[in-house]
Homo-oligomer: A and B are copies of this chain.
Amino acid sequence: MGKADYDLLWGEATRTGRGRPAGLSRERIVAEAVAIADAEGLQKVSMKHLAERLGSGVMSLYRHVPGKDELVVLMYDSLMAGPMPLPEAGDWREILRRWGLGVRDLFNAHPWALTVATSERPMGPGEAGWVDDVIGRLTAVGMPAELGLIAVLTVDCFALGAVRPEINSGSGETDFFQFLADPVISARYPNLARLAEPGTADADMGGYFEFGLERVLDGLERHIETHR
């Protein structure tokens, strides 16, 4: 992904007014693709299926989007088109907490987006807007911008990684430690087996996202205190 993707996301549309007016639009295509992905999964987003939904021919889509891969990039960035919901007031910790929880909400609402997020992709206008916003908010409450950037990145990385188990268990994944049910196999993993004994390991893991997030914030807080 190089120049092509850059132009795709950041290039301006130059419309002269001449020529047949467009019935389709990039926005409508991307929005419908997102709707399909939300409802049926990213795998069901095929050019054919998408065209049917839009009531158009398959090849018409290519007038507005270079190809499937690029469409997915656009779908992803469109999720961050609006402002990231951040609290009206609060210190840096509250802001970053909301960032983490907001990321979590985003990916729970659009599970397909997680694999997109972890694949190679350029930063688009939506994502840039979110990052710019949060850094502005953090500097406003006294956090240096350099620290703000790396702090957001840290929280973001954690949230990105931590949301996966949530998404997957939500989609009806079988018990995470299902294999421990077999005594022969279970014997091979004594430490895990011991953990599974008391109650369901899943149940114990219920609040791990919040737990981990607070630990990350604690760590940032200690850093700030130490380097004051």
Q: Interface of A with B (CB < 8 Å)?
A: 1-3, 6, 9-10, 114-115, 117-123, 125, 128-129, 131-133, 135-136, 139, 145-146, 149-150, 153-154, 156-162, 164-165, 167-168, 171, 173-174, 176-179, 182, 185, 188-192, 194-195, 201, 204-205, 208, 211-212, 214-220, 222-223
Determine which residue in A132, A133, A145 has the highest number of CB atoms from chain B within 10 A of its CB, and name it.
Answer: A132
19 pairs, CB–CB < 8 Å, chain A vs chain B = A9-B179, A114-B119, A117-B164, A122-B178, A123-B177, A125-B179, A128-B179, A135-B192, A146-B195, A146-B204, A149-B201, A153-B162, A154-B212, A157-B160, A158-B212, A160-B161, A214-B219, A215-B222, A216-B219
In the bound complex, residues from chain B placing their C-beta under 8 Å from that of A136 are 190-191
In the assembly, how many copies of this chain are there? 2
Contact A10 B190 (CB under 8 A): no
